[in-house]
Amino acid sequence: MALTEYTGATDYVANLDDLPNDEGGLTADELKAVFDRYGTEFKAWFNETHIPEAEAEFAAMEGDISEAEGRLSVAEGDISGLAARKLSANMDVYVSSSGSDTTGDGTSGNPYKTIGKALSVSPGDLNGYGLYIYIAAGTYAENVSVEKTGTVSLRGASGAAVTLNGTLRAGHQATILRIDSIHMTINAASATGVTVDNRAALIVTAPLTVNSGAGKTAVWAIYDSCLFVGDGGTLTVNNAGYALSVNHSSRAFIENIAGSGNTNGLIAERGGVITYNSFTLSATTPRATSSGGRIYAGAQTSIPNY
């Protein structure tokens, strides 16, 4: 509601002639009334029009504020409830590129459309149980970041081709992210394709292909994190500036590493350690270490191979 403006005259005194009390002019009482007129009219407008309108406006604003505070309280309750909620059993969530994040419910018959949605409906603390996200074959354009206290498994039909046009990150010190059964391909030409940081762990037991870009790191393990690619899993990296970089006391075991078109292959630095069995990775500089980094080919001994 717009407040009414004061439009009364304010120039009664200014409009008097030079000698308002001269012969035939105003009496003393009439002159005094001219000086009092503006104040009287303004007082009546202020008390009878402006104050009631202002009080009504403030009352409406207080109602809006009260409603907003109520909504905020509900939202904070929802957030707090999700944070406090813990799993009491294993949780299965289904995702399909033909699903819906709006009308889907995460069941096999009505899946979500994105992996991010599947992660968002689960609590932060998995309470010792597993979160299993079953991904149908297809292409998913999203950046996936997993920050859960517990184990999250990305699964699907055995050998299902799942393409992620984006990035994948395990970034919580209590997170264990597993890629099982599906054959995941990650396309991230302008960013790090796979990141494991903040004491998280990534376990891959199926083929994982990362197509990176010139000057970019395809797979990066940093800050006391762990990367394991084994039990039949193969890491294939193509066209990266750095195929695999392990540093800041992180560890990586790669059963098989392959790929082509890379500038740098394995990089271990700042206390990072890489151990591998089979190496068919094509790179201009296949291996490099610095600042206490170590690379072992085959069984790890006290003397690194590189």
162 and 44 assigned to the same domain: no
The residue behind tokens 């509900």 is 74
Lowest mean pLDDT among 38-42, 105-109, 152-156: 38-42
55 and 95 assigned to the same domain: no
Query: CA–CA separation, 148 vs 109, rounded Å?
Result: 26
Which of 226, 167, 220, 223 has its CA nearest to residue 195? 220
Contact by Cβ (8 Å): 135, 154: yes
Residue 123 identity: P
Identify the domain containing residue 225 by its residue range.
Answer: 90-297
Q: Looking at 35, 63, 84, which one is the last position of a domain?
A: 84
Domain count, the chain: 2
CATH number of domain containing 202 = 2.160.20.10
**pLDDT over 60 at 258, yes or no:** yes
Inside any domain, residue 10: no
55 and 203 assigned to the same domain: no
141 and 266 assigned to the same domain: yes
pLDDT digits (tens, 9 = 90+) for 125-141: 999 999 999 999 999 99
Q: Looking at 84, 117, 134, which one is the last position of a domain?
A: 84
Q: Which pTM does this prediction carry? A: 0.73
64 and 112 assigned to the same domain: no
Contact by Cβ (8 Å): 178, 154: yes
Which of 140, 94, 100, 136 has its CA nearest to residue 118? 94
79 and 94 assigned to the same domain: no
CA atoms within 13 A on the CB side of 66: 6
37 and 100 assigned to the same domain: no
**pLDDT over 60 at 81, yes or no:** no
Q: Looking at 84, 113, 138, which one is the last position of a domain?
A: 84
pLDDT digits (tens, 9 = 90+) for 193-237: 999 999 999 999 999 999 999 999 999 999 999 999 999 899 999
Residue 59 identity: A
Q: What is the pLDDT of residue 45?
A: 83
154 and 27 assigned to the same domain: no
